[in-house]
Amino acid sequence: MSAIRRVASERVTRLSAKSSPYHTAVTLYDAQDTPGASTTRRQTRRVKRENVELNDQEGSNDALPAAVKKRKAKAKVVKTATSVTTTETKSRSPKKPKAIPQSLDVPHPTPERWKEAYNAIKEMRSRITAPVDTMGCDQAQWKEQDPKNRRFATLISLMLSSQTKDEVTDAAVAKLRIAIGGSLSVDAVIAAEEATVSEAISKVGFWRRKTQYIKQAAQRLRDDFDSDVPKTVDELCSLPGVGPKMAFLALQVAWNLNLGIGVDVHVHRITNRLGWHQRPTKNPEETRLNLQSWLPKELHGEINHMLVGFGQTVCLPVGPKCDLCTLSSAGLCPSAQTKKLSKRDSRNSASTSRVELDPGPKVEIEVENS
């Protein structure tokens, strides 16, 4: 690149006057430079251009103006700093997962008569066999021999259970086990084709997304946790597709660790119906934090299983069987519903009453004497 330094030369300008050839009343002026000044300026420019070009051809930076040198030096510094920053970003350790909150700043007050309601539900559940009792996440482990595979099977069952009934989840776990070789292990899931996993779990809700979650979680477990289920809530929640409810239940079933309450839609719905929250909670996480602030810790491990089964059989989402629930007659459930007869049932009942009250035509029997 050739650099030209502009040098202001001293010029002597003279004006010459002459009459306009078109109108005698108009005078024209011409500016004329002295020949010497013009020559000097041209020579100065030519010499400086030649010097700079010559030095550039020789590959030396000595003849470059100071401004050009500065720009080059600054460019090198910026480039070096950029490369260093990039290297640091690549070598930076992965971001730690956000900690799962375990308590409220201000504990939730203990509801009145909660213990009576709790014991009544527990007594009812002892007489009921619900789907969760035979097909829940704690049942998936018993088909495995290796302890790691048992814990992994529990985690897989929980990952498949969201937005899915226990019957469908249990069948999907069994089908997946057969599809990948007869055992639910981390290595078997990683080695399996994505299409194989998808076909096996296609009956559960959001099966496409769960297929990716299962594959990614298995890879993480092998890379970061020695192909085993982690022992902390935060590490479990760092896995794709795993939330607090799954994490707490996985720790209870897989590691026998009671670190919190697993709150699903059943626990969320029933505790709100019982009025155990000052204000209705908006989501399961809010419900969990409320419950953990007053419910005795020794009950944290069993409340999920108890209320899930109760919600599956008695306290249904739509059309709860309040007539079969002892909480209703004991006045322990503010949401208890009195069964109302439909219009059709009312008509049938009225018709039946009329039939029963109407004696029908009177029949008289007389005996003729011969």
19 forms bridges with which residues in the sheet? 27
Alpha carbon of 352 to those of 37, 344, 349, 355: distances in Å?
Answer: 129, 12, 5, 5
Cβ atoms of 110 and 278 within 8 Å: the answer is no
d(CA 304, CA 133): 12
| Per annotation, catalytic residue among 90, 215, 245, 282 | 245
- Of residues 316, 264, 253, 310, the one with CA closest to residue 287: 264
14 forms bridges with which residues in the sheet? 32
**CA 141, 144, 148, 150: dihedral to nearest 10 degrees?**
0
SS3 31: strand
d(CA 9, CA 250): 87
33 forms bridges with which residues in the sheet? 13
Residue in the structure block whose two tokens are 């085993």:
228
Under 8 Å CB-to-CB from 76, ≥6 apart: which residues?
Answer: none
CA end-to-end span of the chain, whole Å?
A: 151
Assess whether 340 carries a catalytic annotation: no
Query: Residues, the chain, total?
Result: 370
Catalytic positions are 245
